[in-house]
Amino acid sequence: MTGSDFSVLPRHVAVIMDGNGRWAKKRGLARSEGHIEGAKTFRRIGEYAGNLGIKHITFYAFSTENWSRPENEVNAIMHLFGDYLKEALDRLDENLKKGIRLRFLGDRTGIAPELANLMDTVEKYTENMTKINLNIAVNYGSQQEITGAVQSIAEDVKAGLLQPGQITPELIASRLYTGDQPPVDLMIRPSGEQRISNFLLWQSAYAEFWYSDVLWPDFTERDFDEALRSYEKRNRRFGGV
């Protein structure tokens, strides 16, 4: 059943959008075709999650390691990302009415300047929205993110603004891209793989994980519901009894 009759919803859902290339290969198509279909699924699931009342959702779109993929595939992904950014600006009024805040997690120095400028613009126009936080991780790696947070704190210690004893888990969390958002409650990974792939390592310290053999372009609202139903049944003790 698809609907909103859940007894408990995660505050923050993270999704690893995996399986686009394999989806295309199974159909004798170019890998870029899989990414096109995957982008459609991203739009649909993102909107569905917001309608259910999930406040924070983070999609893993492109990792720091993905640059090693074939150049034509990388170019296709970045072209799709550019299309999404332009669409987000075209639908700005609609997104504002829905209360959607768009944020992009990752190192923008590796992104083409025209895309980075669009990312800045989208974030600026939606920064006051509070109903839904939609995060897209692009050129993102969690180890890189944590390293950057630690370097930032080290600079403060060097400048005398902090003492080493003042460094706490809460302080480190505040220096991450998601510093003002809650930790991940539920991590979803389709496509049959069962690994975290350098995604939100700190934020997912106590996340519940849900895996599926469904390739991302075939992922539906019913699959998302199944993940949420599984989450409802978990006994989250956070190390306690």
Question: Is 2 a residue whose pLDDT tops 60?
Answer: no
Question: Is 237 a residue whose pLDDT tops 80?
Answer: no
> Stretch 105-116: mean pLDDT, rounded?
95
Question: Is 153 a residue whose pLDDT tops 80?
Answer: yes
| Catalytic one of 20, 51, 66, 107 | 66
Inter-residue contact 95 to 168 (CB < 8 Å): no
pTM, entire model: 0.93
In Å, what is the CA distance from 151 to each residue of 140, 154, 207? 17, 5, 26
Residue 239 falls inside a structural domain: no
Q: What CA–CA distance (Å, rounded) separates 203 from 14? A: 10
Residue 16 falls inside a structural domain: yes
For residue 204, the domain's CATH number is 3.40.1180.10
Residue 62 falls inside a structural domain: yes
Amino acid code (one letter) for 41: T
> 66 catalytic, yes or no?
yes
Residues 123-138 pLDDT 10s: 999 999 999 999 999 9
> 18 catalytic, yes or no?
yes
Report the number of distinct structural domains present in the chain: 1
Question: Is 236 a residue whose pLDDT tops 80?
Answer: no
Residues 155-188 pLDDT 10s: 999 999 999 999 999 999 999 999 999 999 999 9
| Catalytic one of 18, 95, 139, 185 | 18
Residue 32 falls inside a structural domain: yes
DSSP 31-68: HHHHHHHHHHHHHHHHHHHHHHT--EEEEEEEEGGGGG
Residue 116 falls inside a structural domain: yes
Neighbours of 67 (CB within 10 A): 11
Residue 4 falls inside a structural domain: no
Host domain of residue 99: 12-141+183-233
Question: Is 239 a residue whose pLDDT tops 80?
Answer: no
Residue 58 falls inside a structural domain: yes
Residue 155 falls inside a structural domain: no
Q: Which two tokens stand for residue 214?
A: 């469904």
